Amino acid sequence: MGEAYQIVAFVDLEDAAMLHTAKRVIRWMHDERIRGDALAPEESPEARLRPWFEAVGYDEARIQLELAKARNRFKQRIAFAPGERATEAMTASPESPSHPHASTGIELVMGWNIHGDARWGYAGHCPTCHRQVSNLHLRGGPLMLAAAKLESDPRSPLVCVDCGAESPLRSWSFDPTLLVSPLALRFANWRPLRTSFLEALATVVGGRVRTTSEVL
């Protein structure tokens, strides 16, 4: 098992508020000593990601495409070491999380993304007909195609195979949880986050926060 991420997505945000909210969240976590200093970005994320893409079965052309997209995504991420009071945001245990490189600690992710675990199959609930669409995957098919367009089109649609309606991906709900948002926090290898911490974050941003997880 690699890095285990808890993801907090700010699902009510729109583009116009993203940068202002990101600055407010960064400042609040600094003031509360939840985060420490910014970490240098990974010099070669390809070394970590290539084995994963190969395991999925991508050919070399697809691997190069996914690596190029990953490099662009890393430009929209800022990593921080855990702060002195980071454990107060977590349940149990006084031990401090480790942070040997930029994929550990806290990541602030800016830009429209879908957040969840690519290992699983998902059931989507159509916002138009309210039926369940099964066997959706982030590694291929219509869900992957809709997710790939999010960065350039926040209203990227997913077509319901039952009623034929095209609805924005962010209006669908999924089981297990997938979340679409323009801003998120990723906590690598942290214990479960306290409800009080999540409630405080919601107050800071003035909107809902929702959580999901991912293992890389």
Residue 2's pLDDT is 62
Q: Is residue 195 part of a domain?
A: yes
Q: What percent of the chain has pLDDT over 70?
A: 89
Q: Is residue 153 part of a domain?
A: no
139 vs 205: CA distance, rounded Å:
31
Q: Is residue 151 part of a domain?
A: no
Whether the predicted model's global pTM rises above the 0.85 cut: no
Q: Is residue 33 part of a domain?
A: yes
DSSP class of residue 43? Answer: S
Q: Give the domain extent around 34.
A: 4-120+176-215
Q: Is residue 80 part of a domain?
A: yes
Residue 50's pLDDT is 81
Over range 185-192, report the average pLDDT.
92
Q: Is residue 139 part of a domain?
A: no
Give bridge partners of residue 159 from the DSSP assignment. 166
211 vs 132: CA distance, rounded Å:
21
Over range 19-35, report the average pLDDT.
96
Please state, rounded to an integer, the average pLDDT across all residues of the chain. Answer: 87
Q: Is residue 149 part of a domain?
A: no
Q: Sorting pLDDT into bands at 50, 70 and 90, what band is 42?
A: low
Residue 176 CA, distance from chain mean position: 14
Over range 157-163, report the average pLDDT.
95
Residue 206's pLDDT is 94
62-102 pLDDT, tens digit each: 888 878 877 776 667 888 999 999 999 998 754 444 443 33
Q: Is residue 170 part of a domain?
A: no
Task: Name which of 28-32, 92-96, 109-113, 155-159 the model is least confident about.
Answer: 92-96
Number of domains in the chain: 1
190 vs 87: CA distance, rounded Å:
9
DSSP class of residue 141? Answer: H
Which residues, at least 6 apart from 209, have a Cβ–Cβ distance to it below 8 Å?
Answer: 8, 9, 10, 11, 198, 201, 202
User: What are 57's two structure tokens?
Assistant: 């079965």
Q: Sorting pLDDT into bands at 50, 70 and 90, what band is 55?
A: confident
Which residues, at least 6 apart from 140, have a Cβ–Cβ distance to it below 8 Å?
Answer: none
Task: Indicate the SS3 state at residue 203.
Answer: helix
Residue 66's pLDDT is 79
